[in-house]
A and B are shown apart, each in its own frame.
Chain A
Amino acid sequence: MIAATLYLLLALPPLVWAAAVFDRIGTGRGALLAGPLRNGAALLLRPVAPTEAPDRLNRLLAPGWYLALALVGLSVVPLAPGLVASDLSTGLVLWGACEALTVVVVFLHGWSPNAPFPLLGAYRYVAIALPAMLLSMFVLIGAALPAQSLSVGAVVEAQREVWNLVRQPLGLPLFMALGLALTLRGPFDYAGGAELAGGTSAEESGPALAAWRLARAAMLVAFSAMAATAFLGGYLGPVLPGPLWLLLKTLAVMAATVAAGRFFARMPPARMLTLLWVVLLPLSFANLALVGIEVLP
């Protein structure tokens, strides 16, 4: 358990950096590898701008909570058979709790500066993220059904013969929608976005902004590792050692999530709300029903 925690903490910084590099690819700015580090350093050297009558405690803590949720979520992902930081029989529930609390943390981030655009972003995010999190619950129950267990290790072992991606093809795309919402990205970036001048981050600057962006990238890593584990067989794979397979699959999901965030346009929130409740949630029910029929003896 301690070994797994250490490996995760060692792997996280390079993966966060990889996430930042992915975000830079195709923006035509050059300096792919060094750019994120340089910009991060410049941000750390800028001051934190004060706002009028902020909620100081929550403003300070929101990025930390976000990062903590990413770390706790990541801790249930097994790196190899038996090598997992939090070896819970209910790992999927812990992950689900991290998802749900992300809504609260993003809200606090928008609430605490006491300014209109961050607050609009916060409320908008809650309205959209709530159904998105519901979606993920059904999708993850679908992933847990073949394993007949809520333990993430058992979910991986149940994919020895065939990955969940093949068994329940709707699962991963629906889970990716949640990933976009968790990591405040592209079509699900209702906390921020150009139309709100950065939304919940509009008043942030300096180290506080750097911390929020770091946490957001860490959440992308955590989500990608979870998606790779629940749908792509996690550490399972021929020839290469298990942790390396997990790493490769995590990077692949990360790249796909970043690409999806760039490809799909963000709808006006009312339209997205309709899409979530009327199309995506019923799709996740259908996914769950199909999985249920499959696992019938």
Chain B
Amino acid sequence: MSLLASLARGAEIPVFAAIGAGGLAPVETLRRRPGLRLVDTPRHARVLLVAGEVDAAHATALERLHAQLARPRATVWWRAPRLFDRGEIADGDDPTGAIRRAAETDEPDQRPDLPPHPWEGIGPHGQGGMGMMGGTPYGRPMAMTAEDIRDGLALDAYRARFGPFLPMLPPGLALDLTLQGDVIVAAGVAAPPYPQGAESDAPGPCAARMLRLMGIGPRAARARGALAALPRGSGMRRRLAAWVDGARVDETPRPLPDALPGRDWTGAALWLASFAPSRLRAACLKPEAA
């Protein structure tokens, strides 16, 4: 055990970044920092890094995210005001020191270990109601068979909120989605993406974010091949091509509730990533203004 512990002392610290306003570009600079590793899910992380100001309306979501990290765990607030009274604040350009210190500590649960909603299922396992299913156990409606919009293969429709800290979606964007398999059949915007600095709209970072969703690094030579991986004639391909060539993309997406249904999960994530963060935010804010 002590051998394992001494070996583990030199390990990289897995960090999950919950990105707030203005946090997108700074987190990008951590990606190649030795000693840290940004991970895609809080389950793989030791430290929760809150980068940039998180809307107080998302405090509960952040606390739930905190509970997703297995203990021992710790929080670092980087250029972000605290939303709950745990962890350390890091203000400078480099939170590495704070993250290292945090990785030596442990924090108890922020929320009581209770279901977020009351049990409203029918039957002891939620299996009552129609056929085998029914009710809304713990606030999540049971998946029920519904009409399919793509290929007529009727699957159970699953409704849930996705976001605001999912790493494959623009930070802050929370979507109420109905999924059949991995196809989105209905979408609503529960919260728009956070504002990001102008540097996040630059072609380089935009291309890198999109390519990361496709599993490859940002080098240009690879990126040219990556274009062929996207459907020919699609806007995604055109926009990625522009970014790879170093051109800015100023297209504004259609409103998400119209544009997302019919796309599968991957297609939707890529489509969202194929717009500059500021344009996507504008598209999500517009319906409220109208």
Contact = CB atoms under 8 A, between A and B. Distances in A.
A198 interface: yes
Contact of A29 (B34, B226, B266): B34
A223 B210 CA distance: 30
Most chain A beta carbons < 10 A, residue from B5, B68, B182: B182
B158 interface: yes
A46 interface: yes
A123 to B, nearest CB: 6
A186 B215 contact: yes
B229 A41 contact: no
Given A263-B222, A268-B270, A269-B264, A194 B40 contact: yes
Interface string B216-248: 110000100110111100000000000000000
Interface in A24-82: 28-31, 34-35, 37-39, 41-42, 44-49, 53
A189 B215 contact: yes
Given A28-B32, A195-B265, A265-B222, A205 B229 contact: no
Contacts of A47: 70-71
A202 B40 contact: yes
A99 interface: no
A46 B72 CA distance: 8
A267 interface: yes
B114 interface: no
B122 to A, nearest CB: 16
Interface residues of B, number: 49
Contacts of B217: 262
A167 interface: no
B216 A44 contact: no
Contacts of A44: 4, 8
A123 B167 CA distance: 21
Interface in B33-85: 34, 37, 39-41, 43-44, 46, 68, 70-71
Nearest to B214: A265
A262 B68 CA distance: 30
A196 B46 CA distance: 20
B167 A49 contact: no
Nearest to B5: A45
Given A38-B10, A123-B181, A266-B215, A271 B46 contact: no
Contacts of A269: 182, 264, 266
A267 B229 contact: yes
Given A29-B34, A123-B182, A194-B213, A205 B71 contact: no
Contact of A41 (B4, B32, B212, B264): B4
Interface in A185-219: 186-187, 189, 193-198, 201-206, 209
B40 A198 contact: yes
A45 B182 contact: no
B212 A262 contact: no
B266 A194 contact: no
A206 B46 CA distance: 10
B104 interface: no
Given A29-B34, A195-B269, A267-B230, A42 B168 contact: no
Given A38-B8, A42-B12, A264-B229, 6 more contacts: A35-B12, A44-B4, A45-B8, A262-B216, A267-B214, A269-B182
26 contacts: A29-B32, A38-B7, A38-B9, A39-B11, A39-B12, A41-B8, A41-B11, A47-B71, A49-B70, A116-B158, A116-B160, A120-B265, A194-B168, A194-B213, A195-B213, A196-B265, A196-B266, A198-B41, A205-B43, A205-B70, A263-B225, A264-B229, A265-B215, A266-B214, A269-B182, A271-B229
Q: Give 10 closest A-B pairs by Cβ, nearest first.
A: A42-B11, A265-B226, A41-B7, A42-B8, A265-B229, A265-B214, A41-B8, A38-B11, A49-B70, A266-B215
